Amino acid sequence: MLTDDFHAPDLKTQLEAARATYADSHTRALDAVDMFNFMAGNPEKLKGEFPDRQELIAAVTMVVWDAAYWGAECAAAEARLASLTKPLLACVPPELRP
């Protein structure tokens, strides 16, 4: 039996949430990539900070995973934004579309 109990937030609320999620994940992805670049560019400093080779490997692995995770989150948020805005383009006259 189908009911009308489902009430999605209005489009404005969904767009605001999607924009916030995208901005947050984009920032975190950039931070993770910056950390990876720092680690890759400073191997001697890292060896001093992580004298135990296993700790160094674990730290580098976590940074790579972090970058991959936030990159995927950013892509998912971007897809969500696209899916929310696509129906809106149908309301825009063709000569005004990007």
Q: pLDDT band for 12, please (50, 70, 90 cuts).
A: confident
User: Rounded to 5 degrees, what angle do the CA atoms 91, 94, 96 make?
Assistant: 85
22 has pLDDT over 80: yes
Query: What is the DSSP annotation of 21-41?
Result: HHHHHHHHHHHHHHHHHHHHH
The mean pLDDT value for 47-75 works out to 91
pLDDT tens-digit series, residues 46-58 = 888 888 989 988 9
Q: Percent of the chain, pLDDT > 90?
A: 44
Q: Is the pLDDT of residue 2 over 70?
A: no
Which pTM was predicted? 0.72
* pLDDT surpasses 80 at 7: no
Query: DSSP character for 8?
Result: P
